Structure 1
Amino acid sequence: MRKIITLLMTITLFVSCKEEVVNKPERLIEKDVMVDIMYDLSILEAIKYQNPTSLDTFKINPRDFIYKKYKIDSLQFAKSNVYYASDYEDYKLMFEQITKRLDANKKSTDSLVNLKKKKKKPVLQNNKKPATVVGDTTKLK
């Protein structure tokens, strides 16, 4: 009998210790959507710091843009972010997903930039300067 009571007390203790630090908000943003939001925010913040005039020209605030795009408000985002951040391991996995997407995006962007650079280089044959047109005749320099 004592063993059963001890076992039940131990199980009860372990179950009661698993208490959520942060309560689940009413309008919780789904995890996949939250990852998309944080990905978009990181892209927009990078643009803001790399080329601030691009967003200023069009008067775009990254956070306001995200709120409109995903039809959420700042409070809903903040509460959802705190909720997901309360579980460190899960939050870390979310950031790993974002990092993978950013790395994949960076690779494709780098390849497009390199391709564009290759197309821009003029090719001169036999080290001759381009021909110039003088009147009706063409002369090589």
Structure 2
Amino acid sequence: MRKITTVIVMLILLVSCKEEVIQKPDQLVEKDVMVNVMVDLSILEAIKYQNPASLDTFKINPRDFIYKKYKIDSLQFAKSNVYYASDYEDYKLMFEQIVQRLDAKKKSADSLVNLEKKKKNPILSKKKNPALLAKDTTKVD
């Protein structure tokens, strides 16, 4: 009888410890939207530190811009962030998504920059491709 009572008490303790550490906020930002917000915030913060004049010229505050874009407020964002951060594994997956999306955007931006460079300076593209350079030098008029 004593063993059964001990097992029941242990089960009750285990079940009662399974409570969520942080309660779900009333206005929780959806996980997909939260990832979008964090991606956009990362990009705008990078712009802010790489080229501060660009945001200052237009008087853009990155956080205010994001809050307006996604129709959320700072408290809603903060509470949602704390809620998602309370589950480490899930939060880690969110950040992996963020990193993947930022890498994809970086590749896209790099390819656009390279395309613009080639348009502005066609000699650079010929230097990279010796076959094109050889064709141009063999023509004699």
Shorter-chain TM-score: which interval?
0.7 to 0.9
Q: 1:122 to 1:33 in 2, by over 3 A?
A: closer
Cα drift, residue 111 of structure 1: 1.4
**Residues in 1 aligned to 2:109 and 2:73: alpha-carbon distance in whole angstroms:** 31
The answer for the alignment partner of 1:55 in structure 2 is 55
**Residues in 1 aligned to 2:88 and 2:67: alpha-carbon distance in whole angstroms:** 25
Cα drift, residue 77 of structure 1: 0.8
Cα drift, residue 29 of structure 1: 0.7
The answer for the alignment partner of 2:74 in structure 1 is 74
Cα drift, residue 16 of structure 1: 1.1
Q: Deviations over 1:58-83 (max 9, x none)?
A: 10000000111011111111111111
- For structure 2, the 5+ residue unaligned runs are 124-132
Q: Which moved more, 1:99-108 or 1:11-20?
A: 11-20
| Structure richer in strand, relative to its length | 1
Q: Deviations over 1:26-52 (max 9, x none)?
A: 111111111111111001001111111
Identity of aligned residues (%): 79
SS class of match (1:29): coil
| Structure richer in helix, relative to its length | 2
The answer for the alignment partner of 1:107 in structure 2 is 107
Q: Deviations over 1:116-138 (max 9, x none)?
A: 21222244954xxxxxxxxxxxx
Q: Which has the larger radius of gyration?
A: 1
**Residues in 2 aligned to 1:109 and 1:84: alpha-carbon distance in whole angstroms:** 30
TM-score w.r.t. structure 2 length? Answer: 0.81
TM-score w.r.t. structure 1 length? Answer: 0.81
Cα drift, residue 12 of structure 1: 1.5
**Residues in 2 aligned to 1:22 and 1:62: alpha-carbon distance in whole angstroms:** 28
The answer for the alignment partner of 1:120 in structure 2 is 120
Pairwise CA RMSD of aligned residues?
1.9
Q: 1:68 to 1:3 in 2, by over 3 A?
A: same
**Residues in 2 aligned to 1:9 and 1:122: alpha-carbon distance in whole angstroms:** 78
**Residues in 2 aligned to 1:28 and 1:70: alpha-carbon distance in whole angstroms:** 13
Q: 1:122 to 1:24 in 2, by over 3 A?
A: closer
